Chain A
Amino acid sequence: MSPREALRSPVALFYAAVAFGLLLVAGLLLAVLRWGLRKNVDQAWQSYRGWLFIVPLTAAAIFLGREATIVFFTGVALLGFREFARATGLDGDLYMTVAVYVGIVAAGVVALVPDPAQPVPGWYGLFMALPVFVIAGILLIPVLGNRVHGQLHALALAIVGFIYFGWMFGHVAFLANAKHAYAYLIYLLFAVELNDIAAFLIGKLFGRHALRSNISPKKTWEGALGALAVSLALPWALWFTFPHLGPQDLLAAGLIVGVGGQLGDLAISVIKRDLGIKDLGSIIPGHGGILDRTDSLIYVAPLFFHYLRYRHDLNPSP
């Protein structure tokens, strides 16, 4: 991944055209609805404004290359954990929070450096073993501080924070090391967000039966199944971007995104409902916090990553 490679890669150019084309079409559609048909589109407009930030930022990071992509997603993970830490009150425990931040940065560094054993970018072995060391470090903190009261609570929050928001999300960054980084990484981002939007729109139009009434009252079975159908179809439409994948891989990719996307959304909703809050932050206008936007991605990314790696290896030897 590098600017020169991005300009030469038909996959990257295709996705760039699709992303900015969709932004343009959505903008025009909103303009027609707002001024042509005099509809109230305030909510959609808020969300659209958010996309106007997200898409160019992500595109710029991916365009600039592997290093910029890893730094960008590590930064997003740091801000995401910050939201979690502030919403749960873990931020009050300085050392515990510092340990998790250091762990997240370490995951980024391990994704950046090459593997000493073989000439591929990204130290895969250490990346997978990283939770062991970070959890060992986190467990050390109450011992060194000679503290007991409330420590199980803080430990649990810190470990969930690192594993889920740091390390599992870190798989997105690590995907930048793949040989087919553009195809895999952009497909992942594109499919997950499309799945979210499809679930929202189909649920809004046809939704009748609540999917999980206690966790998220607005999600419906109709929305989830509609999104699953969209996600199952998407890899076939994008087959030309990863021609080396077989039909069963396309089916698996669709299933992982279609099912995992909904589950990831619900998983963060469980945390939010237990905390008794609506959004974890409001960094992106119209979307809430980082974690409200990346909830599905965190769940899907590691599953997608390990499926692809098991089947095709990230950097297959020629």
Chain B
Amino acid sequence: MEQWHYDPAANYDAALTEQLRVFPPGLDTLVRMVRLLAAVVLRCWLRVYHRLTIIGRHNLPAEGPFILVANHASHLDTLCLLAALPLSRLHCTFPGAAKDYVCVNGLRAVLAAVVVNALPFDRLFAPWQSLSVCAHLLERPDTILILFPEGTRSGGLAPEEFKPGVALLAASCGIPVVSCHLAGTHAALPKGAWCPRPRAVRLTIGAPHVYPHLPATKESAKQICRELREAVMLLGKVEPEEFRVRKPAPRKMFQSPVLQP
């Protein structure tokens, strides 16, 4: 009888935290199942506790890689954006997370890897390395990158200036960049808070932008950043018709039939 051929996973004998820190992650069925379960629970929780409203979901490209950019004020932002994407693409969605924030503590790293599938972005020392990881991921046919071009959680009403990374990824290639605006997340879970407050949250998804005509230079990056930031701010200002406060329809009260004597 010929021997069976086994092909073990690359780092099967590394510690669990080490396995989870490897990026891009390999196939790990248990992690995927836990992530799927967490995604379903988180979606329900966002809908119920934060009354999450998603507007303009039709703007998301149906297939092919794309980048989501949004203003960033809270940890809830990532979860809200994830909730807008189809579950079938959950495992190829990579939200960018600051490496210096996520990878400092074991529990945070495990949560980020398992629940969020976070891409640890080195914003301090080697941002170009992280950008090249992003570019490699975008070569796959179904990658979705979630990036916050502000680079940190800002508290203000208007988003801060965008960092040029996203622009460099999008320039001179046909990858769509979808601008999104998140409202209410700062009030629900500001920086430094632990317990989310039951505030309403709204996610507006804008039309995708493509920049195949612009070269990947500093000037065009600045231009793209400006355009994207304006698009995000515009989404925040527009009060779309769908989101007008709907008055609940007057409920028909049950009237007991009058008994005829």
Interface residues of A (CB under 8 A from B): 78-79, 82-83, 85-89, 91-92, 94, 97-98, 101, 153, 275, 277-283, 285, 289
B157 is an interface residue with CB less than 8 A from chain A? no
Contact of A282 among B7, B15, B32 (CB under 8 A): B15
Point out the residues of chain A lying under 8 angstroms from B9, CB to CB: 86-87, 89, 91
- Tell me if A101 and B13 are in contact (CB < 8 A): no
Point out the residues of chain B lying under 8 angstroms from A89, CB to CB: 6-9
What 10 pairs across the A-B complex have the smallest Cβ distances? A89-B7, A97-B29, A86-B9, A86-B12, A82-B30, A282-B15, A87-B12, A87-B8, A283-B16, A89-B6
For residue A66, give the distance in angstroms from its CB to the closest CB of chain B: 23
- Tell me if A94 and B16 are in contact (CB < 8 A): no
Tell me whether chain B's interface is mostly helix, strand or loop, or mixed: loop
Across the interface, name the chain A residue whose C-beta is closest to B28: A91
Indicate whether A101 sits within 8 Å of B30 (C-beta atoms), given known contacts A280-B12, A283-B15. Answer: yes
For residue A35, give the distance in angstroms from its CB to the closest CB of chain B: 28
For residue B13, give the distance in angstroms from its CB to the closest CB of chain A: 6
- CB contact list, B1-28 vs A, under 8 A: 4, 6-9, 12-16, 27-28
Point out the residues of chain A lying under 8 angstroms from B14, CB to CB: 282
Contact of B12 among A83, A94, A97, A101 (CB under 8 A): A83
5 more A-B contacts (CB under 8 A) besides A89-B8, A94-B27?
Answer: A82-B29, A91-B28, A98-B33, A275-B8, A277-B12
Point out the residues of chain B lying under 8 angstroms from A98, CB to CB: 29, 33
- Tell me if A153 and B4 are in contact (CB < 8 A): yes
- Tell me if B29 and A279 are in contact (CB < 8 A): no
Across the interface, name the chain A residue whose C-beta is closest to B10: A86
Point out the residues of chain B lying under 8 angstroms from A88, CB to CB: 6, 8
Inter-chain CA distance A193–B243, complex, in Å, is 62
Inter-chain CA distance A308–B13, complex, in Å, is 36
Point out the residues of chain A lying under 8 angstroms from B29, CB to CB: 82, 85, 91, 94, 97-98, 101
Indicate whether A277 sits within 8 Å of B8 (C-beta atoms), given known contacts A282-B13, A282-B14. Answer: yes
Contact of B33 among A79, A101, A285 (CB under 8 A): A101
Inter-chain CA distance A275–B6, complex, in Å, is 7
Point out the residues of chain B lying under 8 angstroms from A277, CB to CB: 8, 12-13
For residue A308, give the distance in angstroms from its CB to the closest CB of chain B: 32
- Tell me if B30 and A281 are in contact (CB < 8 A): no
For residue B176, give the distance in angstroms from its CB to the closest CB of chain A: 29
Across the interface, name the chain B residue whose C-beta is closest to A95: B29
For residue A311, give the distance in angstroms from its CB to the closest CB of chain B: 37
Inter-chain CA distance A280–B29, complex, in Å, is 17
Point out the residues of chain A lying under 8 angstroms from B7, CB to CB: 89, 92
Point out the residues of chain B lying under 8 angstroms from A86, CB to CB: 8-9, 12, 28
For residue B83, give the distance in angstroms from its CB to the closest CB of chain A: 23
